[in-house]
Structure 1
Amino acid sequence: MIQMLRPTAISLIFIFFSLPAFCQSFGLQFSSHEAVQEKRTSFNLTPGKPACFDQNTDLQFDFMLRSNMPIYFGYLLRIVTDQNRNIDIVYNERQRLLNFITGEKFISCPVDSIGAFNQWNQLTIRFDTHNKTVEFLANGHALGKSAIETNDQLCCRIVFGANDLPGFQTADVAPFLIREIKITENKKLRYHFPLDENGGNEAHEQVSDKKYFVANPGWIAPMHQNWKKVYSTQTGSVPALAYNKEKDILYIISGDSLYEYSPRNDAIRITRLSEKRRDMAYGNQGIYNHINNKLYNFYIDEHSVSVYDTLQARWDKSFHSDPLTIFWQANKFISSTDTSLYTVAGYGQLHYKNLIQRYSFNTQRWDTIHPKGDFFMPRYLAALGMNASGDTAYILGGYGSKTGDQMLNPRHSYDLLAFDVRGRQFTKLTELKEPEHPFVFSNSLILEPGTDNFYTLIYPNDRFNSRLQLIKGSLHNTDYEPMADTIPYQFLDVESFVDLFYSPVSKKLLAVTLHTGKDTVTDVNVYSLNFPPNKMIAATTTATTESAGKWLYIIGGILLALAFSRIFLKNRKKKSEKTDPATDINHQHQEAAAPDASHLAPSITLAPSPAVDTTAIYLFGQFEVLSRDKQNLTASFSPLLKELFLLILLHTCKDGKGISPEKLLEILWPDKSSKDARNNYQVNIAKLKTICEKIGGININRDTGHLRLLAEEENIFIDYKRFAELTGGAYTINNQYVTALLELIQRGGFLQQLHYSWLDDYKSEVSGIISDIFVKYATTADPEANAELTLRFANAVFLFDQLNEEALVYKCKSLMILGRHGMAKDTFSKFAKEYRENYGVDFEKTFVQITGNS
């Protein structure tokens, strides 16, 4: 029996009764088909015995579907009564229906896709224990009733998402969000789960003050509180940035490539230019024109504008590089009123600018605008945002002087002006109260749709090691408040740049920092934060200007206190360790792999590369050892010392026990007498200890009767140990995880140039782990959006297993998606040839079979 409400009626229900999506930023996000079955989210409200109710009972919660997911089919909720009758809520992706199921019957509710994805909707399951019925409601509106088999007392198990209830197991989870779960009996609150946690794997139930386990939780609050580094790279030139809000693509424009980052699926695509540009001029900037859907790169000093040719992967012109632009940190916008690019303000050669210049896309000519109205002080380091109609630009603050001369009383500015494009006129709207500690702004001002609110990043410009803080303000008053946490930022006005973008598709803010060092090598870092952001967590936070201005120093004080605490504890630890053995390398590994909150949210955000003052030992690719001061000591190891060192190191990392001297004698000197073997052993151990002293921070210890490699301090980087940490605990295989793993393994196969019989098991184990992770990633990732990363991963797998068939399949498919058809066929031909040479038979599959292309 199928009941279906009319689409018009349901649309009205969801439009007029749904809750605002952005009023609260907390809840629980469920991992769905994008994750392997073991990593999907499950929340069991009845983990012990069933919950029993004597009187009429309501189960109520808010839900929303996640955006931009590849598959939507699956369960939101399953209830199983003590008569083994199921009551389910399932989303039918194909028909866009929310099905409320009772046994073999269901009520279908057409859900408007916009409302379901962008708004919280309240669902209620109402049990009438007297009449033995269950009623389903959406936002307080009745959808329908069904009869249920139950005793006078209703006893049931309640599970959101995946469940393993006997006879009712399912791993088909819809990608959804929930919050505010409430169960009331006879209108009395029995259970209340707000789901406002910030981490961990437990949800707090407020009525009983108990905690309930959640498997693979995705807490929403931290996603709106903590900036997440989603991509980083280096370019050999001074890059420019642009953003396409319709396609949800962030462009990073470099001299030899175009980087396209998609926040929707956390994917990066890198297109190598068919014609490289020698130099990227200092001060060059980028912008995407939504009027003609073209990407531009421009250089104000030359009044030069270059357009990108997508088909030929080239720019139509290059710029003449000059190490000194006179338009550092200039702002820009495109106005739809006259189809023109405007550039505003800037700094160079000891002068601040208030110049407004215009480039017409229609005539391809530049001119200068002479504005009327209120005074616009010459400045740079200001923020600029455009209204939705494209006729008004808002410019906030900056640093400059009334005359434009850097020598004559330069100062910070906090005025907010509106520039009317049609009237060519500035109007001062307000001025933020001058804070106790001055700051400047990111290049862009984000205007929140449908409100007078704005967001931008601020930071002090009087220091190199700075931090970016997001603030929220209004176009019509002086108050503002800090939001979310901070982002590290290295600032030097002629070497640094920061911009802020808003993704309406992904509902995220993107912060991008650039820092150009020697030889024009630029560090690019991209951070994301779910929108709307939560307020900064600080007891002293208020909406006033003075208190908001103190955030930098509050945070600085906290960090300083933590630093002193760490130094104190470290010194204390060193004193206590004078008579104790040094810390065991494997012991450190076990701590890192412990299932605490920080590990369950994997530590893949930490770069696997060693710090500057870190001893580094590399086992992937070529064996290499670098001392703390970055001296390469690899040549200090003779072939025998190298094998001896690796035996001790790998056995220590494996189980912490190390290796016995007897085992070393058996492996290294099997053909010598016992006396000669021990003499060789003692001489080479002494040599190895000397080398360890040169390396710094490590030594060889035999306190347990076994030889172990011990770490005397924290600054020791061993890529194999880092690999074990990444692959040995709980982790989610996503783009960020794979990128972190690739940074380790793309150096080459495990000890690829060394061939010891005892090493084969280690190599086989590493190869197997990498292959398994690759298959899990490749089978769940979006093939088109993640083609570049899948290709990189496949290439890395081939470093460990040249005849890996899964790597062949996904490499060829990725190459085809990227348009590299010839390379795909060459890859297949080479693989087939090596396969026959190794196995003496032809590879059983054809190119068409593995790619689906001729």
Structure 2
Amino acid sequence: MRFLCIITLGSVALTSSGQAVPSFGLGFYNNETVQDRRTSLDLTPEAAFAFHGGSVDLSFDFSFLPGHTNFFGYILRLIKNNTQNIDLLYDKVNLAVGHFRMVAGDNPPFATFTLDSGHLFNTWNTLHLTIDAGQDRLTLRMGKEVFVQNGLHLSSKDSFRICFGACPVPPFKTTDVAPMKIRDIRITKGRDLLYYWPLNEEKGATAVETLAGKNGLVVNPLWLRSTHYEWKPLDSLVIDGAASCAFDSRDGVLYLVGRDSLTLYNLSSGTRQALPYASGRQDLHVGNQSVFDAFNRKLYNIFPDQQIAAAFDLTSLRWDAKYKPGDINFWHVNKFCSVLDSSIYVLNGYGHMRYRNSVFRYHIPTHSWESVIPGGDSVVPRYLAAAGATDRADTLYLIGGYGSASGQQILSPHNLYDLMRFDVRTRTFKRLHELSPSADGFAFANSLVIDQKNRCFYGLTFNNGKYYTSLQMIKASLDAPGDQAVGDQIPYPFHDIESFADLYYSPSANRFLAVVLFTDSTTTRPLHTWVHLYSLDGPPEPYIAETAPVASPHNHNWYIWTALIVLVTGAAFYRYRRRPARLQLEAPVPRPAPAPFTPVLVTTAPVTGAAIFLFGEMQVFDREGNDLTRQFSPLVKQLFLLILLYSLKNNRGVSSEKLNEILWFDKDEKSARNNRSVNIAKLKALLDKTGGCNLGKETGYWKIDIDVQMVRIDYLEYLAIVQNREAVDKGAIEALATITHRGSLLSDVEYPWLDPFKSDVSNHVIDTYLHFARHNPADPEFMIRLADYIFYFDAVNEDAMIIKCRALAQLGKHSLARNTYAAFQKEYKHLYGQDFERDFHSVLQQ
């Protein structure tokens, strides 16, 4: 009770202090998407509104979404008596009186106005449309401007359909949609508020009307509240070679530098373009980084080991420099361009068991490098730090990382949390303050986004002590300690030098861009780099798992309800963790012999149809490729996984008794049955959207039957490979590696009943890799990659270490072989508390 009082009072304090309600509203997918994906809001899906005379006012707030190129389209369409349309639209014709037009039927526009870019994109604008049947008059008010249309033959018997964006009402259907956002739709009659749609939902196809229950229907919604805390996956692709990235914040273009071509990704339009190099192949070293000089509009690829900054000409598609074979001493450096002295600065890094605090300066006009000896406060040698420069790049902020005072990896390395400021004019560092560490510790993605106006910064943090980790954005002050987590988490496979993450911001689109890179090998010439892109609308908000509905724009009691929900959920979770683990796996039913394995080409292309992914974080997509995952509540999610995994493992399913024992162990038989029925119905409704999953109980066991022609499921692809171990070839091994690169089985959840499934997957994957290695040892390059695949599941697998060391030795890379052996020794001693008994030479001779 004491804890409850503290939380409740804290919630009231937040409310009374005027904390801002998270951004909300409905965004519209516009003409830049295909017709079937554009947004429509129909306030009258069941019947038209009849107002029975008098003066009725329709008002709403609207703004445009920045970063688009095509703004033409409908904002509002009223349909009178199903015979006449009244439209508010934005016309791309360059009219002197403005782009916004209000048109009644085929009449000339009776209202035309314009909004400057500041109002159009950065503020909410309230528009009023008054229908006065008594005066036969239509009045539009926009700010201080008033427009009137007479002679429309308005009557007290008129009825109106009301649609925003795409209009689904025949014969007045439209698909031209402006890239807008709206909220707070009100219909008033005199002083009486008849209907109110706040548009503060986070998901779903219903626009809740809070006064009379006249809910609207939304097609293809873009709920703005979720876009401020929910990272949106944008694209996944594979780049040849050891790729690196840079960002042009002015134009919102991401540059992905590969071995044979440059890939451009436009954040606003979501399009990408590959530009093959006219200068020939660029053999990029691992550890290379790219930077975009926003002042001179130039792209550079930098490699401090060889003191090279290769410039790329976007017109001729040529690099002006190439790398030579060589060693790598500077992984995960930080970098920025400064207009003050026309230079690129490169800081920190790691290589050969040493952390660096070096500062290099590349002077662009003279193409010369120098080592800078900074003054002021000393910087602890580190890598995995984040850095961000001010708009003029006269000041750099550097935070966190992992390192040690001596610079040696062997001597007390630890996470760092200090914020440093580097002054370009004086070339001095100043220590400002320090963030509080978390229990597990954290490092940073490469860049910070600096908000000078609000004296704060944004960065991505992650637990660098785990492979299956996540990126979490934080917001922190430039002037005082303290930080706040904002947004949800992004999956991040962190394998030290093979992984790289970065954060950018586009002011024109008001969106953050997160980039995750993962190379497929620790060799000096990786074959591929996996790239995953995510975006988040600004300003970012703290992640909200479940939000109580807001009844009116002045009701802030949801803070209190959220606190109470957190308390109750915590108690339930505590009780769940305390209960005994009583589950025993049922004996598997013999399965028919699997068909001969055909290698499956698993790609990272965007999902276009129904799919279920169980490796990494669970994801479910409907038949149109829409992500359903967030529609699974925690209970429905566990119910789904229970039935699905038992269905796939033993081809039988799971009994009702077993479901009760696991999910409703604290309820009597009647309550458990009722809860089971309700959640089974919810699960069926979700699975129906895939078009190929059937949940039933024909044999007395709950079972999910999957039509593999309709629904792709990575777990079945995994089973097809590991159950045909004798027939596995190189293509099958690549396919298996692609599946597991998402992560281990259901890495985002921990259930006691799930542990045997996870253990089986790890054992089968490792056994399949080792079986292939014993029978196909001829290709040393592939053996190195295969050993790394095993290490993802077992960091101290002796067989994998032997395979990798021997393969490296065959290629003449003896120092890399010895480094692999030394790293294994260290990890083995850390895990088992004793030395690994075999020496390096005996490993090579086996």
How has the CA–CA distance of structure 1 residues 223 and 374 changed in structure 2, closer, same or farther, with 3 Å as cutoff? same
**Distance (whole Å) between structure 2 residues aligned to residue 166 and residue 578 of structure 1:** 47
Per-residue deviation at 1:615? 4.7
**Distance (whole Å) between structure 1 residues aligned to residue 34 and residue 440 of structure 2:** 49
Q: Secondary structure at the match of 2:496?
A: coil
Aligned to 1:42: 40
Letter paired with 1:506: A
Letter paired with 1:455: Y
Using structure 1 for the length normalisation, give the TM-score: 0.62
Aligned to 2:691: 593
How has the CA–CA distance of structure 1 residues 352 and 94 changed in structure 2, closer, same or farther, with 3 Å as cutoff? same
Aligned to 2:403: 400
Per-residue deviation at 1:190? 1.7
Contact 1:256 1:275 in 2 (8 A): no
Per-residue deviation at 1:470? 1.3
Per-residue deviation at 1:84? 4.9
Task: Give CA deviations for 1:755-808 in whole Å, capped at 9, x if unaligned.
Answer: xxxxxxxxxxxxxxxxxxxxxxxxxxxxxxxxxxxxxxxxxxxxxxxxxxxxxx
RMSD: 3.8
Per-residue deviation at 1:41? 2.8
Aligned to 2:231: 227
Aligned to 1:455: 458
Letter paired with 2:436: K
Give the counterpart of 2:539 among 527, 532, 535.
532
Aligned to 1:577: 652
Aligned to 1:849: none
Which 10-residue stretch deviates more, 64-73 or 607-616?
607-616
Contact 1:277 1:318 in 2 (8 A): no
Letter paired with 1:235: I
How has the CA–CA distance of structure 1 residues 327 and 36 changed in structure 2, closer, same or farther, with 3 Å as cutoff? closer
Using structure 2 for the length normalisation, give the TM-score: 0.62
**Equivalent residues in 2 for 1:794-833 (5 A)?**
none
Per-residue deviation at 1:179? 1.4
How has the CA–CA distance of structure 1 residues 131 and 198 changed in structure 2, closer, same or farther, with 3 Å as cutoff? same
Per-residue deviation at 1:288? 1.2
1:189 aligns with 2:206: no
**Equivalent residues in 2 for 1:361-510 (5 A)?**
361-448=364-451, 450-510=453-513
**Distance (whole Å) between structure 1 residues aligned to residue 365 and residue 247 of structure 2:** 21
Contact 2:459 2:473 in 1 (8 A): yes
Q: Secondary structure at the match of 1:317?
A: coil
How has the CA–CA distance of structure 1 residues 32 and 522 changed in structure 2, closer, same or farther, with 3 Å as cutoff? closer
How has the CA–CA distance of structure 1 residues 333 and 52 changed in structure 2, closer, same or farther, with 3 Å as cutoff? same
Per-residue deviation at 1:422? 0.4
* Alignment gaps of 5+ in structure 1: 1-21, 581-586, 597-605, 617-625, 635-714, 716-854
Contact 2:643 2:654 in 1 (8 A): no
Contact 2:132 2:154 in 1 (8 A): no
Contact 1:328 1:493 in 2 (8 A): no
Aligned to 1:614: 718
Per-residue deviation at 1:500? 0.9
1:27 aligns with 2:30: no
Aligned to 2:123: 119
1:308 aligns with 2:312: yes
Q: Identity across aligned pairs (percent)? A: 34
Q: Secondary structure at the match of 1:614?
A: helix
Per-residue deviation at 1:631? 5.7
Task: Give CA deviations for 1:537-570 in whole Å, capped at 9, x if unaligned.
Answer: 258999xxxx9xxx9xx9xx99899897666545
Letter paired with 2:541: N
Aligned to 1:80: 79
Contact 1:83 1:149 in 2 (8 A): no
1:331 aligns with 2:330: no
**Distance (whole Å) between structure 1 residues aligned to residue 650 and residue 243 of structure 2:** 49
How has the CA–CA distance of structure 1 residues 46 and 388 changed in structure 2, closer, same or farther, with 3 Å as cutoff? same
Q: Secondary structure at the match of 2:215?
A: strand
Letter paired with 1:527: Y
**Distance (whole Å) between structure 2 residues aligned to residue 101 and residue 186 of structure 1:** 25
Contact 1:57 1:187 in 2 (8 A): no
Give the counterpart of 1:174 among 171, 178, 189.
178
**Distance (whole Å) between structure 2 residues aligned to residue 161 and residue 129 of structure 1:** 25
Task: Give CA deviations for 1:143-186 in whole Å, capped at 9, x if unaligned.
Answer: 22233533356643222223354554433333322112112222
Contact 2:240 2:259 in 1 (8 A): yes
Contact 1:280 1:321 in 2 (8 A): no
Per-residue deviation at 1:462? 0.5
Per-residue deviation at 1:395? 0.7
Which 10-residue stretch deviates more, 165-174 or 186-195?
165-174
Aligned to 2:99: 97
**Distance (whole Å) between structure 2 residues aligned to residue 164 and residue 565 of structure 1:** 37
How has the CA–CA distance of structure 1 residues 213 and 630 changed in structure 2, closer, same or farther, with 3 Å as cutoff? farther
Per-residue deviation at 1:417? 1.6
Letter paired with 1:495: E
Aligned to 2:9: none
**Distance (whole Å) between structure 2 residues aligned to residue 39 and residue 297 of structure 1:** 38
Task: Give CA deviations for 1:629-658 in whole Å, capped at 9, x if unaligned.
Answer: 566589xxxxxxxxxxxxxxxxxxxxxxxx
Q: Secondary structure at the match of 1:592?
A: coil
Letter paired with 2:400: G
1:163 aligns with 2:238: no
Contact 2:64 2:181 in 1 (8 A): yes
Letter paired with 1:471: I
**Distance (whole Å) between structure 1 residues aligned to residue 43 and residue 200 of structure 2:** 16
Letter paired with 1:100: M
Aligned to 2:756: none
How has the CA–CA distance of structure 1 residues 71 and 317 changed in structure 2, closer, same or farther, with 3 Å as cutoff? closer
Task: Give CA deviations for 1:350-391 in whole Å, capped at 9, x if unaligned.
Answer: 222222111111222112222222232221111101101210
Give the counterpart of 2:252 among 226, 248, 253.
248
**Distance (whole Å) between structure 1 residues aligned to residue 260 and residue 281 of structure 2:** 6
Per-residue deviation at 1:211? 3.2
**Distance (whole Å) between structure 2 residues aligned to residue 42 and residue 439 of structure 1:** 43
Contact 2:57 2:187 in 1 (8 A): yes
Contact 1:459 1:466 in 2 (8 A): yes
Contact 2:386 2:459 in 1 (8 A): yes
Give the counterpart of 2:222 among 208, 218, 241.
218
1:522 aligns with 2:529: yes
